[in-house]
Amino acid sequence: MADVDTKSGTYTVRAHASGRLGDPQSTFTFWWGNDAKPTEYFNVSIEPNPAFLPMEPLEETHRQYAMAPSTHRQPMVIVTLRNPNAFDVEFFANHVRAL
């Protein structure tokens, strides 16, 4: 049976964020830590936590998987979000790692 670790962080995507890849208001980079094993599974889910309702859904425009440029094995998930709302939207990024 796999060991599963979870973490959650709170982030904010700005009002009218474009969803263009590389836009610092739209693109978020997540990683677990150092020395991951090649057989680990790591991913991130996004859960909006809006201050205002109703809201238009956030749109995930890009999802990329990469390795951090470090001396340790550090898988990364890069998520780009478009926020069509006229207000900032806070969201939870739920990190999951299975060993």
Alpha-carbon torsion 7, 11, 16, 19, what sign?
negative
pTM of the model: 0.89
> Hunting for tokens 């962080």 — which residue is that?
9
* DSSP letter (8 states) at residue 52: S
Radius of gyration of the chain (CA): 15
pLDDT tens, position by position, 55-93: 999 999 999 999 888 777 888 999 999 999 999 999 999
Q: Report the distance separating Cα 7 and Cα 14, nearest Å.
A: 23
> What's the structural domain count of the chain?
1
pLDDT score for 32:
82
Please name the residues in contact with 25: beta carbons below 8 A apart, sequence gap of 6 or more.
13, 14, 17, 18
Angle at 94 between CA 13 and CA 20, to 5 degrees: 35
Range of the domain at 34: 4-98
pLDDT tens, position by position, 23-64: 889 999 998 877 788 888 999 999 999 999 999 999 999 999
